[in-house]
Amino acid sequence: MSDAVPPSAAERLAGGPRRASAAAELLVARREILRRGYLFWGITAGAILVTEALGAASGWLENKLHVHIPWPTISSTVGHLEDRWSIVGAVVVGVIAAIAFYALSRKEENTSQGRTTRRAENRTVRFYNWRLSIVPAVAAGAITYLVQRGGAPEDANHRKFVLGCVIYATFAFYGVILPSILIRVGLEVQFPTLVYTVRHLRAHRPWIAAMLVAALSILVIHLALYPWPDITREPAQYAGLSANGAQSRAIAKIRAIRAGRPPLLYSTQIRGVDNGSEAWVVFFKPAAASGIPYGGCVVVVTDKVVNPTAECSK
């Protein structure tokens, strides 16, 4: 009688104890990869949401707690870029649609962490983890804030959006763009792609697919038609200029005619009509510490003219 131990059911299905052991090791490795994916994208998403929430609550924090938040929300940053370059809206819609397609489709990846490569072997970059997404964003934001600090008060709105672009672009670069570049030269970072993570999470939690589609659909409309759902987005161009273009021209004009005098600060602007033609009407107010009363300074701006009222020179 043989003393050999009969193979287990798992071993018979796997083709023997050696193959069963290899399958178990592969399962453990995949679970570790997914754990790193949940860790990286969970922490990164949390950092972005905190940044976004503070930007959204900046007005309330300023008024109630006197806490100044110098960056805007992601949506207002994108809306600002769309005002300057309308093509940004199409790019945003295209990128979100591509993410939804790849996250919800079934696709085999070349590497164990969901990246496409033509190389037979890839070397792991072990120090590239979640810290290398958040730390650069914090550092880039702090440096940008310090460099811009102390500028003219009327440029505060512009500085705010520059800071927002730096912070959110850094998150995107170190979380998505740079890992995709590194894999092309045979270097793979220590976390799977967002699409790979979502796809495998969806396999265990099918309802996530429905939530993801709903969230991305809302995000497309919100960013492409920002500031929806508050109001329907007006055309970016008016009187031959975007809102930011008109504001910049008016600020430059006021700065030139008030050289050596107490400054006037940008207040607000509206779309109006001047001499029967479309025009931006830009309002200015005195600085709180200037000691001069409001003098009714208004600048009419089109793509051809910049006309301040006489009060702007007083």
- Domain match, 60 and 113 both: yes
Question: Does 143 fall in a domain?
Answer: yes
- Domain match, 157 and 279 both: no
* Vertex 232: Cα angle to 154 and 267 (nearest 5): 15
- Domain match, 52 and 152 both: yes
| Predicted confidence band of residue 29 (pLDDT cuts 50, 70, 90) | low
Q: Is the pLDDT of residue 9 over 50?
A: no
Cα(92)–Cα(42) distance, integer angstroms: 22
Q: Could you give the C-alpha distances from 294 to 267, 268, 284, in angstroms and in order?
A: 11, 14, 9
* Of 250, 226, 216, 280, the residue nearest 81 (C-alpha): 226
Average pLDDT over residues 85-112: 72
pLDDT at 61: 82
> Which residues lie across from 278 on neighbouring strands?
273
Q: Is the pLDDT of residue 2 over 60?
A: no
pLDDT tens per residue, range 211-258: 777 777 777 777 777 766 666 556 678 888 888 889 989 999 999 998
Single-letter code of the amino acid located at 143: I
- Domain match, 253 and 207 both: no
Choose one of 162, 192, 224: the last residue of a domain: 224
* Of 104, 73, 105, the residue nearest 222 (C-alpha): 73
DSSP percent split of the chain into helix, strand, coil, nearest 5: 60, 10, 30
Query: Into how many domains does the chain fold?
Result: 2
Higher pLDDT among residues 21 and 67, named by residue: 67
Question: Does 70 fall in a domain?
Answer: yes
**Residue linked to tokens 């730096």:** 166
Single-letter code of the amino acid located at 292: I
Higher pLDDT among residues 17 and 30, named by residue: 30
The model's pTM: 0.62
Element holding 306 (H helix, E strand): strand 306-308
pLDDT at 182: 79
DSSP E strand stretches across 112-263: 123-124, 187-188
- Domain match, 121 and 80 both: yes
- Domain match, 159 and 266 both: no
Supply the range of the domain harboring residue 267: 243-313
- Domain match, 81 and 131 both: yes
The angle, 0 to 180 degrees and rounded to 10, between the axes of the packed helices 87-104 and 74-84 is 130
pLDDT at 282: 95
Q: Mean pLDDT score of the chain, rounded to an integer?
A: 76
